[in-house]
Amino acid sequence: MNCPYCGYYDSKVIDSRDVNDGIRRRRQCLSCGSRFTTYERLQPVSLFVVKKDQRREEFNRDKLLSGIRKACEKRPLPAGTVDKLIDDIEAELYQLGKAEIPTSVLGDIVMEKLKSLDYIAYIRFASVYREFTDITALKQEVDTLLDNEAKPSQSTSQLPLIPAEQTVGLAKSHRRHRR
Ligand SMILES: [Zn+2]
């Protein structure tokens, strides 16, 4: 690996550490002294993502990365967060030990991770992935998320946005069979 600054062919390793399934090496150019990083990663066997219509597509790390980048755009996340996230997701996928993974499983893994990272990013990703068809479905998702700090639900004359079992207060009353 040539030095990215001066092109010299030789460098020494000054630090080396395991990252998920790879090794990260910090190197220093023997000519100009600049430092740079290389990653060594096992080339995994192909992994395919199976779409809803049963079409198969080779898993594409870059495609997933750009989707998540978009979801995390302008969110106050420390540098490197998204890359770390992708590494984790990729590692998890390969650990499943399967040659094919339904998009729904992939989507769930991503959403699970985003949820604990940043709500806005999560909602953005979910709205694309779950293809929310109308604002009600999106609102429902947001409501579920905000449940902890939820204020008393809106006027009871409105149709419930969430299933009856979840509307604790209302579920008991006689309005249940009114829908
Ligand atoms: Zn150099």
Q: Which of 101-105, 113-117, 170-174 has the least mean pLDDT?
A: 170-174
Give 34 Cα–ligand 1 centroid separation in angstroms.
5
The Å distance, Cα 22 to ligand 1 centre, comes to 24
Question: What does the radius of gyration of the chain's CA atoms come to, in whole angstroms?
Answer: 23
- Residue with the larger pLDDT of the pair 43 and 176: 43
CA 110 to centroid of ligand 1, rounded, Å: 39
Centre of ligand 1 from the C-alpha of residue 37, in Å: 13
Report CA(15)–ligand 1 centroid distance (Å).
Answer: 17
Identify the pLDDT of residue 171.
41
Q: What is the mean pLDDT of the chain?
A: 79
What residues have CB less than 8 Å from 107, skipping those under 6 apart?
Answer: 129, 130
Kindly list the protein residues that place their beta carbon closer than 5 angstroms to ligand 1, a single-atom ion.
3, 5-6, 8, 29, 31-32, 34
Note the pLDDT of residue 170. 44
Q: How far is the CA of 6 from the centre of ligand 1 (A)?
A: 4
Q: Are 89 and 107 in contact (CB under 8 A)?
A: no
Please state whether beta strands 48-50 and 100-102 pair in parallel, antiparallel, or not at all (unpaired): parallel
- Rounded distance between C-alpha atoms, residue 105 and residue 167, angstroms: 28
- The pair phi, psi for residue 46, each rounded to 5°, is -60, 145
pLDDT tens-digit readout, 36-81: 998 887 766 788 999 888 899 999 888 899 889 989 999 999 888 8
